[in-house]
Structure 1
Amino acid sequence: MFSPAPDWNDFAMSRRFWPLYGLRITTPRLELALPDGDVLDELAAVAADGVHDEASMPFSVPWTDGSPRDRARATFQHVLGTVAEWRPEKWTLSLAVRCGGKTVGRQDFMTDGFPVTREGETGSWLGLAHQGRGIGTEMRAAVLHLAFAGLGARHVTSAAMTDNPRSLRVSEKLGYRPDGLLVESVRGEARTVLRLRLSREDWEAHRTVPVEMAGLEPCRELFGV
């Protein structure tokens, strides 16, 4: 069960010293924000309930192996770790995705050297109960808007297993192009990963989701831009 949606304004003190808590990205159905308090608990609960069929592993790092409690704790530690380890030259923005007042998944945007390269990578997951509704495409479109329109990115990359058609379809719809293959060891097996790259020009040509941002200006120093 989800707890009642918290009032984002409860975190005014957090925003004072860590303005990323005030950043909001919205689409017609979604709100993306750095989770704190009850929202982080909700996000951990969504992970505990499962994000993919246990017979498969769509991630290079199999963080979803283990018990529901393990998945919840891994989610909790990941988000807090991104805040603790943040530096303007290397950071991971890990956003909770909310739809209709419920937390449904997580959308990350990560980079190393963004002030110089103007390039970052997306990663995400969505709770099993919320898949198949186009939310994955919409939340990726939201963070791409932040990257290109908000932060001036030149390219954004992503990657997916070649046997993960849902993720590859999201990238295709948003304009990513194939950028080579690599082989990784996952659960003791060789898995082929397709790298993907999205240029600013291709992003602009494939934009279909209206996106709005709020609270970005106080965060620019932290993003290194």
Structure 2
Amino acid sequence: MIASYEMKHQVPYYECDATGHQTLAMLFRLLILASEDHSDALGVGTAKIKEYDGGWVIINYAGDVDRLPRENETVTIKTYVEAYNRFFVVRTFEVYDADGKQLVKVKGMFAFMNLTTRKVASIPEPLIVPYQSEESRRLPKVARPQLMANDLAWERLDYRVRFFDIDLNNHVNNAVYFDWLLDPLGGEFLRHHRLVNLKMKYDHEVRAGEKVDSQFIKIEEKNQIITHHQIQCQGKIAAEAEFEWKLV
């Protein structure tokens, strides 16, 4: 049986935006915290991983959102490793309200990276066996954003990487990208639209002192609103995303 882990969390006001809902960036910080606590509980946390000169890196996320948690709400975050192969792991995250209704379900594709070579490496068996997951040559699909042409009419906003955006790995924390991606949409749009689906892909690390260009295009057809996003840094795409929205 797969070894799952659950973590309860009460959402304080400072994790929320002006709509009273938890921000997407804060939600993903909590998802990663749950995964780290899960690993610690199984004895394969950061200290153990360092013995193999490695670390987990996120490749991409995909998921559905019924609604984001609200201020003061107590939610349960459940996570488990669904499947893995020699190089990659698919981890699932589920968020439930107090009545057991699922609010969010996200899958993430992770790779094991050698921290000396900065290249993907084979996952050491002692680090994956405790999750009691299924080894599979064909992993569950984690959908990626649709690739959009660069000659479209992208709207854009520039950001400077702040000291407080950098984590212990000396690059921008993965959750910060969600703020960069969504902020250019503007308050009017974000107040009146609800996120229902997301696809997010990381391409390159962003480091302290660099500047990023957040771009998006909006497509509306048949009562469907989709925004496509890119984060560019020094002429390279650092991250891509696709969000589906419903009018509130």
TM-score when scaled to structure 1? 0.28
- RCO higher in structure (CA 8 A, sep ≥6): 1
TM-score when scaled to structure 2? 0.26
Q: Which structure has greater helix proportion?
A: 1
Q: Which structure has greater strand proportion?
A: 2
